[in-house]
A and B are shown apart, each in its own frame.
Chain A
Amino acid sequence: MDFLKRLRRYPVALAAGLCILAVVLTALFAPVLAPYDPDEMDTATRFAPLGTPGHWLGTDEFGRDILSRIIYGSRVSLLVAFTAVAVALAAGGVLGVLAGFSGGVADVLLMRLMDLLFAIPALMVALGVVGLLGPSAFSVVVALGVAYTPLFARIARSAVVGVRSAAYIEAARAMGASPARLIRCEVLPNILPILLVQVTASLAWGILDEASLGFLGLGVQPPTSSWGAMLTTGRQYMYQAPSIALFAGAAVLVVVFAFNLFGDGLRDLLDPRSSR
């Protein structure tokens, strides 16, 4: 409740948050909201233009309703992005906290490994993983999860190092807190806001990268609709039916933008020292 009350003081973040909520609800209630079955073909109405009654955003090369496909596409985008970021947060968070808290050889080894992974662009890592596992939603989750892990590991580690030698950690140790308790009760609450902000930023990247992989044909396979795959087909029919690429692109843009704005607001909001 306190959180929502404070969120009101950040109107941009609030708007972005509502936008994300709307997209999440759209994904959840896709069967109710979508006017048509997204995979239903109708050769009679191929490439229906924008504003056609019944197909307000038009139809694609198989006569499928674009609005319905975008609505269903949000499921793939969000599910893949959320799961991939959750995987990266769990793996990177654990590795980073361990490295930062233990220090010494473990720290050096873990972080150099992460640096190695970090040196390769995320999309390249993802391409490699998808190449190994074959294109599917599952491989995209694994691929992006692996690709984002070093980022979370680094952020978690530097945050832990920042608080590790703080006087209140020493004080808690002097009051008999065990290492596990120190991490859980003293370190985690301090680094959680930082990680949470990174989560929202990474969700934006996740949606963008999922679309990129989809665009390259490495994401979910047809006929399942995804925003990235719609951009690919939309590119081919750019002149006959610009609305395919246009609205898929707009969906990606809006969601990515919303996550970024929400992340910015969250960063200010979660700092108890911020007085706004």
Chain B
Amino acid sequence: MPLLEVDDLEAAFLFADRTVRAVNGVSFAVEAGEIVGLIGESGSGKSVTVQSILRLLPSPGRIVRGAIRLNGVNLLDLSREQMRQVRGRRIAMVVQDALAALNPVIPIGEQIADVFLAHTQVKRQTAWEKAVGMLRRVGISAAEERARHYAHEFSGGMQQRTVIAAALACTPELIIADEPTTALDVTVQQQILALLQQARSELGSAILYISHDLAVVTHLCDRILIMYAGEIVEQGPTRTLFRSPKHPYTQGLLASIPSLHGDVQEYLPAIPGLPPNAAALPTGCRFAARCTFVQERCRAHHPELVSVGSHHAVRCILYEATTP
């Protein structure tokens, strides 16, 4: 049984005048201790998928269909209180903007201690000592003194380390990292990625890593899911996906990563056009309007996700014919 299993998830925002279908029939699994990358551009539905997993969709968002199973238990069936117990203890979240995620008027150490206090029966003093231990663990020097500082006194990298320390506090089975390195400079980015890998190897936590940047996740993730317009268009092991990307969108993404080897390119190829409006999705393939290989059939027929190798699947008409 996989640790996390998202099954045919459909989430939509039901506004008075229109319905925005943000996530459409997304299915994937995360095994225990696995690092999975969920890649997509802004508006592809990756954040809504994450909010659905934690059942924290902002209003008027609704989970219309599907199941989200953690160790076989459907999270959508849990009571509010049971769900609250899952958040932070079994599934923890690391967000992009660490400064905004930290309370400006509460010392750092106390905020981490609060996570312990929310989930375990410990005394405040014990929670504080554990919090200092967590800060030390994520590589903050003079942790005891630093724990008394406020978020704005920390550098960007230290703020993100603090958020990770809070996430790791209760040894969660799954860490959801929503673009945790986007706001950081490249050297700090690498440190944060190393820290996440360390969390996996030491605590055995699985990680669902959300990003719009394929380049960042290559060394981190075991497996990659590519999302486009609310659905998964390609998924597979990182190596396979990089060696033989099947979907024209994945190929476009890979082509737009600058290379350090070979000739210096004059310009980076970009994928033309914009993703479709989620309030008025096309009937056929959602990438058709931007695809270089588009055929007449693409505009009418919506392709299914088909297997094209071991653990490698793609949602494109070009590969549908090969399977019965």
A binding-site residues for B, Cβ under 8 Å: 166-168, 170-178, 181, 185-186, 189-190, 193, 272-273
Contacts and interface: CB of A to CB of B under 8 A. Distances in A.
A167 B101 contact: yes
Interface in B87-129: 87-89, 92-93, 95, 97, 100-106, 114-115, 118-119
A170 B114 contact: no
Nearest to A275: B152
A185 B97 contact: no
B277 interface: no
Contacts of A273: 104, 152
A173 to B, nearest CB: 6
Most buried by A among B81, B84, B86, B105: B105
A176 B102 contact: no
Contacts of A168: 100-104
B104 A167 contact: no
A173 B103 CA distance: 12
B85 A176 contact: yes
B150 interface: yes
B118 A181 contact: yes
Interface of B: 54, 56, 81, 84-89, 92-93, 95, 97, 100-106, 114-115, 118-119, 150, 152, 163, 166-167
A174 B54 contact: yes
A175 B92 contact: yes
Contacts of B115: 175-176
Contact of B93 (A174, A178, A193): A174
Contacts of A175: 87-88, 92-93, 115, 118, 166-167
Contacts of B95: 167, 171, 174
A176 B118 contact: yes
Contacts of B104: 168, 190, 272-273
Contact of A178 (B84, B89, B103): B84
A178 B80 CA distance: 9
A273 B152 CA distance: 8
13 contacts: A167-B97, A168-B100, A171-B101, A174-B56, A174-B95, A175-B87, A175-B93, A175-B118, A176-B115, A177-B114, A181-B118, A190-B105, A272-B105
B118 A186 contact: no
A166 B93 CA distance: 16
Nearest to A165: B58
The 9 closest A-B pairs by CB, nearest first: A176-B88, A175-B88, A167-B100, A176-B87, A171-B101, A174-B93, A168-B103, A189-B105, A167-B101
Nearest to B110: A185
Nearest to A166: B100
A172 B114 CA distance: 9
Nearest to B176: A174
A196 B118 CA distance: 27
A189 B172 CA distance: 27
B118 A173 contact: no
B118 A177 contact: yes
Contacts of B105: 189-190, 193, 272
Nearest to B113: A185
Contacts of A173: 56, 87
B86 to A, nearest CB: 7
A95 B104 CA distance: 24
A171 B118 contact: no
A175 B119 CA distance: 9
B110 to A, nearest CB: 8
A5 B84 CA distance: 41
Given A175-B166, A176-B85, A177-B88, A185 B114 contact: yes
Contacts of B119: 176
A273 B153 CA distance: 9
A270 to B, nearest CB: 9
Contacts of B87: 173-176
Contacts of A193: 105
Nearest to A189: B105
Nearest to B50: A174
Contacts of A176: 84-89, 115, 118-119
A181 B84 CA distance: 12
Contacts of B56: 170, 173-174
Given A174-B54, A174-B88, 7 more contacts: A167-B101, A168-B101, A168-B104, A176-B88, A178-B81, A190-B104, A190-B105
Contacts of B88: 174-177
Nearest to B169: A175
Contacts of B152: 272-273
A227 to B, nearest CB: 37
Most buried by B among A174, A185, A186: A174
B70 to A, nearest CB: 14
Nearest to B93: A174
B118 A178 contact: yes
